[in-house]
Structure 1
Amino acid sequence: MIAETGLATIFAVAAGLMGGVVLLAGLAGGAHVTATTTAAMCDDATTRSVPAELCEQFPDVTTVERLAGPERGLVAMQAALLMRGIPYSWGGGGPNGPSFGIEHGAHTRGFDCSGLAEYAWAKAGARIGGHTSPQWNAGARVPRSQIRPGDLIFFARDPARPATIHHVGIAIDTTRMVHAPSTGSTVRIDPWAGDPYREREFIGAVRPTV
């Protein structure tokens, strides 16, 4: 696991959070989102549970319909961060949260990469599909220099061929993402910019259309 250098105290693992304060709760099939106040999550430096540099950006709202485009991306990012620590499960996860997967993920309740992305954006009011193929076509392409929180970052075995996309993460900023990496791992934050493997397979970023 790559060290998360430069981050302040991040979200505690989701298992602990689920028993306490819940950041986002889907209503009416994911169409609405409730949120704790930014103050509750950010104000006390000793108990802060989000990256310090992101606290000022978080929207403080009661329903997702009131949000502008950039704020919806922040909601998606928050939803993904809340799942930090949930196990990877091949074929697992969807708009309602973690689930048992298929094949070697059949006995693990969690997320694969596209399941996490689908969940995160469902909380922001967008249906992007449960696999990387529809997710790649779920919005507008975003230049690398303009990536912002919540954008989907895609990786392919051959960056010239979208059909070879095999991984997706949710952007925190232009260098880091929250994602479900692979079997045996958990949802976590990793840098992707500057990582030789990720750089070699980076194919582009998409901002889902709501």
Structure 2
Amino acid sequence: MIAETGLAPIITAAAGLMGAVVLLAVLAGGARLTAITTVATCDDTSQPGQPEPLSAEPCGRRPAVMPIEGLAEPGHGLIAVQAALLMRGVPYSWGGGNANGPSFGIEQGAHIRGFDCSGLAEYAWAKAGARIGGHTSTQWNAGVRVHRSQIRPGDLIFFATNPARPATIHHVGIAVDATRMVHAPSTGSTVRIVTWAGVPYREHEFIGVIRPATIRTAASHTTP
């Protein structure tokens, strides 16, 4: 598990380094990247028993069907999560964010420059060389499904109103470790790290984990 204090090697590693260099930097800092099934002990920004509201995905984005090519190596995932962690504190913007970074969103996000959940995921993985698209439905098909016991930093964690139906996916986070993710929660919040494993409403809506491919072409946000 990457403890809160263990995030520093990821965040301070040069953004332009290749995955192998980033991996060495994290390991040098003592971070342990093996899968962990227990709940992490960290400061969760949400209030106990008070789930963060999760906004539905905005209209105006068109998912694309994409062929899977090469799956991401561990170093690519570390680059992706590092990029997301560097965005902590950026405002949530409904429909905001794309492969280039924060942007103004649509509707209630029209005057807020920031990210929504899928915009943050798109940006993070673009930094790692993957074009996963700007909508959760596209991102769900942007790689291969991996078991939660095999979660690696950077993997995409999805949540759905009905976990039996991928069409109801409404939220995505980027794995920090096996129990925590960095995500853009909802209007009025900012990009942050939260614990999801073992949290009842998260577990109830958990649908799966996707490890992206590193080379692809996909539809992006159609935001300003």
Scaled by the length of structure 2, what TM-score is found? Answer: 0.69
User: 1:142 aligned to 138, 142, 146, which one?
Assistant: 146
The 3-state SS of whatever aligns with 2:209 is strand
CA deviations 1:165-208 (Å, max 9, x no partner) are 00000001110000000001100000000111100000000000
Is this contact kept in 2: 1:92–1:115, CA < 8 A?
yes
Tell me what 1:163 maps to: 167
User: 1:7: how far off?
Assistant: 1.7
Is this contact kept in 2: 1:112–1:181, CA < 8 A?
yes
CA distance in 2, matches of 1:151, 1:191: 15
Q: Evaluate the alpha carbon distance shift between residue 73 and residue 9 of structure 1 in structure 2; reply closer, same or farther with a 3 A threshold.
A: closer
Q: Which runs of 5+ in 1 are unaligned?
A: 1-5, 12-16, 25-32, 43-51, 58-67
User: 1:137: how far off?
Assistant: 0.2
User: 1:92 aligned to 92, 96, 104, which one?
Assistant: 96
Is this contact kept in 2: 1:23–1:82, CA < 8 A?
no
Asked if 1:205 corresponds to 2:202, the answer is no
The AA in structure 2 aligned to 1:167 is H
Tell me what 1:152 maps to: 156
User: 1:127: how far off?
Assistant: 0.4
The AA in structure 2 aligned to 1:117 is A
Tell me what 2:5 maps to: 8
Question: Once the two structures are aligned, what percentage of the paired residues are identical?
Answer: 71
User: 1:100: how far off?
Assistant: 0.4
CA distance in 2, matches of 1:124, 1:164: 27
CA distance in 2, matches of 1:106, 1:53: 42
Tell me what 2:52 maps to: none
The AA in structure 2 aligned to 1:7 is E
Q: How does 1:15-164 map to 2 (within 5 A)?
A: 23-24=14-15, 33-34=16-17, 53-54=30-31, 69-164=73-168
Tell me what 1:183 maps to: 187
Q: Evaluate the alpha carbon distance shift between residue 8 and residue 167 of structure 1 in structure 2; reply closer, same or farther with a 3 A threshold.
A: same
CA distance in 1, matches of 2:181, 2:145: 17
CA distance in 1, matches of 2:144, 2:108: 33
The 3-state SS of whatever aligns with 1:200 is helix
Whose strand fraction is larger, Structure 1's or Structure 2's? 1
CA distance in 1, matches of 2:157, 2:101: 20
Q: Evaluate the alpha carbon distance shift between residue 53 and residue 88 of structure 1 in structure 2; reply closer, same or farther with a 3 A threshold.
A: farther
Greater relative contact order (Cα < 8 A, sep 6+): 2
CA deviations 1:19-59 (Å, max 9, x no partner) are xx8942xxxxxxxx447x86xx88xxxxxxxxx653x87xx
User: 1:9: how far off?
Assistant: 7.3
CA distance in 1, matches of 2:73, 2:157: 17
Instruction: Give every structure 1 segment of 4 or more consecutive aligned residues whose post-TM-superposition deviation is greater than 2 Å.
Output: 21-24
Is this contact kept in 2: 1:23–1:79, CA < 8 A?
no
